[in-house]
Chains A and B, each alone.
Chain A
Amino acid sequence: MSAIPSEVTSLDFFEIKESIRSYLRTRSEFTDYDFEGSAASYLLDILAYNTYYTAFNANMALNEAFLETATVRDNIVKIAKQLNYTPRSIKAAMAEVTVNVQTNIGSDGLTFPDFVNIRKGDSFVAETVNENYIFTLLTQQTASVDQQTGIASFKCIPVYQGNLLTYSFTVNNTKTQNYVIPSEDVDTERMIVYVSPSIQSSEIDIYNRATSAVALDSNSRIYFLEEVDDLRYRLVFGDGVLGRRLIDGEFVKIDYVRTTGEEANGSRDFTFIGTATDSQGRVIASSQIETITVRTAGDGTPRETPLSIKYNAPRLYTTQNRAVTELDYENIVRQLYPQAKSVVAYGGERLNPPIYGKVYIAVRPQTGSALNETTKTKLKNQLKAYAVASIGVEVIDPKVFYVLPKTYVYYNGNNTNLNSNDLATKILKNIDNYNSQNTSNRYGGRIEASKLGAVIDNSDPSISGNTTQVALGQNLTDFNFGQVFNQCLDFGNALYNPDDYSGGGNGGSCLPSFSVVKSGTFYATGYTEDLVAAGVTSGLIQTPAFSSLEQTQTLVPVNLRDDGKGRMILVTVRDEQEVILNNNVGTVDYTNGIVCVGPLNIALTPDDTQRVPVVVYPAGGSLNVPPGTDPTILNPQVNPIDFTVSDITIPSFDPNNFNGFNFGGGTSLINIIDYPTDTFQYPELDECF
């Protein structure tokens, strides 16, 4: 019995060819297969290529059959359809405008017309920085005319970017009919479906979109929507059991908006280019029409990406249109509000103290840092349809954890052409990418310095390793200038306790030599140059102390830090020496990571915002993400070190080494982390560094 080609699982051309060749070696008929010029070698090529081609094709075809591995959008959509998932369409940017129309005296020469109409489909032109966009009115608007002034005012009318188009079908039950809208840029949310008994009939039913079979009967005027090939959407009408079945000869008309999506966000300076007519049928000249932009265009989003479909479809399927678990809430909110950059839901029982019977949902929009109240209320009401009865829903703004990594990267300068700066840029890009990939799932609830370290290590083959430590930042925000306030910041993670390193152990005789909580610079009411000068001379600053000539004195820039024994102190720098202005302006709970500031009176901040940054140094490299917190990596500091040139040893943690990691750099300032210089602000762009 002869050997048979045995490499049946190979996807490599040469392995396949070798497999056939090794089979021929067991035969005596032909011997020349080893020589490239032989006819046998040519035949082997053909056989191997054919096998390779078939195997590749089978592999790709099978990959496309599963949601996990499919890459072609049409295939992903088809698999998602089995999970009853319809991908989000492109969404038109919406703006609000007020249109004031000055009418002319009517034909009787005495009175103004009664009202003014603007028709459905009439357009506005608006500008962005780069381009002009057309916005369309989706419904006819009528405004009554003020008989004193002759002005008709259309207040805050919503307009949508794109063109209002119509497509129609006549129902023909003798053949299989596909109600496909022939455009790939349809905003399905702005779509209106009309059905009338015939093309001439004035009797019109509006059909609504159904997303589940619940509560449908044979008379429900509904349609289902699904994405089909080439980004088109298809309407599926009822079959007479679930939804009304269309009858032969009925006329289906679809009004839809074809839009360019997010490109038109930010459009403003609207100009009306349609036709306004008064109640007497006269067209009003464009010079008599004034358009005021009330709300700049926003909320335009691109169509759902294949990656997003792969992520959302199975998750939405698990919710089964019911919000029961925290994940259900997150997935449904993503569906209801696709503009969300991140959604975090958590039960009130996870709070301290617990609040039972409530679910909190922290939503961060794509633009800006918080949702407006209208959207919050709308979301809250929409969620009622999914939530379990008796469970209250609160939509809140997310609390942000600013994760501030500082990394020293060792690399072999002989293995790369990049200089130190280029390498740092490359690493920053990788960190940036890591950050943007993790915004949707908040790093799975944990931020691991080792994961971040691996991202840094993999940035370039020349990198041999890195030492990375992270600090955590939040802003003090609950204050008004000139008023005394108290605020606690919960960092949710244990902090290094400087007292443990003080020599005498916890509560020991030696004073701690470093600080793990630092605030940015600000000006505190009452702490003036006059006071500081006097205190420095006498060696004592009274606490709390106020200058008698407060109003004539200049305030000194101050910072907060902890004293290493659980108290917050107020300090300033005078002649390169730290001066303690107040030794009790709050407390630090190192075990639970809670920093309480106050009572304190902030007079001013350098950037005039009501924000003072506070940075802490958490113990260990693994950080927990507490409920309702939205972490983001901010301003990473990357310091590449070519170990072939300079052999610098960086300690992983040595609070008493002032030249080491995360220290202020050799001065006499007590430092574990530097004082933050800027307030923290959530990066608006994905590429934030």
Chain B
Amino acid sequence: MTIDPRLRELRRVAIVPALNEVENIGRVIDELRAFDPGLEIVVVDDGSLDGTARAAAAKGARVLRLPFNLGIGGAVQTGFRFAFENDFDIAVRVDGDGQHDPAQLDRVLAPVLSGEADIVVGSRFAAMGANGYRSSRTRRIGIRLLAGVVSRIVGQRVTDTTSGFQALNREGIALFARDYPHDYPEVEATVMVFRHRLRLVEVPVEMRERGGGRSSITALRSIYYMVKVLLAIFVGLFRRNVVPQEGSE
């Protein structure tokens, strides 16, 4: 595959959060390499018990092994901190379960490379009707509802606030390295991005069914997360000092 020539001059990293993805992680790494051999791959192992870290290291990826499960927010932020401290120019985030197809990364990267966006989100719903994303009913309704609430708050139409298929430039990396929400972070992060006046652009992507293994999100959990996330968003709107200072927690 030929990659965008502008990408070649940049230091670029793929952040791959993974929890018990021993069956999928190898393939994800292979596909990332196939897309761009110059991409540094960092797998953040969020306390897996199934040898995910070893499988990733065997494929030659850098592995950040968390000593216990931090949840997706804490895991992903570890990757952003790595990217920030090691002076990467561009980061892409690709989930370790194989849902995101690295072959579509050129689409996700384009607005960052052209300087149109600080953060690009691959959306399952940006192109309506395309390839109908399949998921549990509760989850689909939740995703729609959150997208509606967030669109209204930020004043720009966003269709998929729960997608972890993203690309970020240095500004985006710096923001998320300093401050990133917990648990079900993408929704709050979207609002945060706008409050910091960074530019967010959505591009349509198709996501695959996950490979082997099970998703870590159940229906009951989705409802709990919904309540929690809505609370966080609304309370967050009244925050003046948006970013916590280092060491204040």
Chain B associates with chain A: no
Chain A positions within 8 Å of B, measured between CB atoms, are none
